[in-house]
Structure 1
């Protein structure tokens, strides 16, 4: 992603007045290499949601380039766009919202293959992916309400893996889970990056969670990338004010609510 800018037109304040606009992203640069896990952190309203939509190709930026496998997504031909849609998949915060409660898990997992018209042994692919996320084939015949929150997030990850993507975008994937389950999902994502050679973009507002799962972090504030670095550097030597605020918000036993454990 190079120099991406996104501006939204707002409602007019008067009948004949000029229509105001809001710049949500301001010349954003972000890159991720094959087999690399990067984090994107920022406070609420920093522009993470808009950036996620652009990363997945669901929203076109006003200016700038979204590059994938050497081509610009929005100027590419139909076949390259199809390749992009198959290669970039997303895992959302709440897995229940992405799974039809009336549909068995096995059927839900087949949906990406059908919608993207991927020709393969569908049954074998379902079993393979369930094994990759640590669930057995008995999950195929069960419904979403029969699983715990952590298991549902594994199913959501499995659904994203079905087309065989190169890039996995995880948008707040553990914020809705109990702390005891968060580490399991984070370890799963780390294993997938290592074993499958995936590129992972991990989006969150919690710097400590992102630091555990990624090797490079982009800090976002007011629609801009204000700092980039290794998690340890950002924790111990934050340069931007937004980074210092995120570090100060990390809770610990020693620092308590003051968030001073890293001082």
Structure 2
């Protein structure tokens, strides 16, 4: 009998955290004794393979933001390693670092905070190419990316305040796509949007991953949103990965308490919307 093998999981990770621990020094309570520290990540391992869409979900304070900062090179871990394409990003030369910065891009929760309100959209889209010293036809690249996210070229002369939240998130995605990255990290990309707009942005991300062959890391606190977009999900709690599995398995057979709480929250909301919460 022939069994179909999932080739994605046979491919080495494109972006990987291995046994990462991150701590922060706290204020001294007295002049005597060691300075206290806070452990935010505790020996966390996490990876995404080429063309794969993976999710990271957890409650507020679980460590998702710190993991994102380390995964994107914004912070150096106290212990452990971050690898891109098999190479430690903190152990190479300047060229390796530039390649990493071009290859891994982030879409943040609030597009208004990631776009300069004084800068026209056209200049905002050009900024990553200039800061990363990427050569080529920049105007053609801007037009290409606008088409990919479904925005017209009229947007180039306008300012961020002239757009709706959904339109701004499309522009933020376009900005992240400008350097032609291999990995897109979406950090709570729809939590600030109206429910009616969330599905549009989620569908856009799914289409981009499929059409461009990108790897996606989707980070959120809502398991249902992550499940819609990804094929493998890690559940985070108190600075640790407590469970990893396919979305359907996590929904139907959650093992960790943190996963059960996330599933329970979704089911409670759905029951309320159906008018059954007070029955």
Is the 8 Å Cα contact of residues 251 and 257 (structure 1) preserved in structure 2?
A: no
Range moving further from structure 2, 8-17 or 157-166: 8-17
1:17 CA drift (Å): 2.4
Alignment correspondent of 1:203: 219
Is the 8 Å Cα contact of residues 88 and 169 (structure 1) preserved in structure 2?
A: yes
Match of 1:29, SS? strand
Alignment correspondent of 2:104: 88
From 184, 192, 195, give the equivalent of 1:179: 195
Instruction: Measure, in 2, the Cα distance between the counterparts of 1:74 and 1:138.
Output: 41
* 1:167-246 to 2 correspondences below 5 Å: 167-246=183-262
2:132 matches 1:116: yes
1:9 CA drift (Å): 1.2
From 20, 24, 49, give the equivalent of 2:40: 24
1:58 CA drift (Å): 0.7
Is the 8 Å Cα contact of residues 4 and 25 (structure 1) preserved in structure 2?
A: yes
> Deviating runs (4+, > 2 A) in structure 1?
251-254
**Length-normalised TM-score, structure 2:** 0.91
Instruction: Measure, in 2, the Cα distance between the counterparts of 1:38 and 1:135.
Output: 26
2:65 matches 1:40: no
1:146 CA drift (Å): 1.3
2:20 matches 1:4: yes
Alignment correspondent of 1:256: 272
- Residues 203-224 of structure 1: per-residue CA shift (max 9 Å, x gap): 0000011010111000000100
1:16 CA drift (Å): 1.3
- Residues 18-76 of structure 1: per-residue CA shift (max 9 Å, x gap): 21111111111111011111100001110001000001101000111101011001111
Is the 8 Å Cα contact of residues 68 and 84 (structure 1) preserved in structure 2?
A: yes
CA RMSD of aligned residues (A): 1.5
* 1:58-73 to 2 correspondences below 5 Å: 58-73=74-89
Change in 2 beyond 3 A, CA 1:20/1:253: closer
1:252 CA drift (Å): 6.3
Is the 8 Å Cα contact of residues 10 and 22 (structure 1) preserved in structure 2?
A: yes
Change in 2 beyond 3 A, CA 1:142/1:50: same
**Length-normalised TM-score, structure 1:** 0.96
The unaligned stretches of length 5 or more in structure 1 are none
> Alignment length, in residue pairs?
260
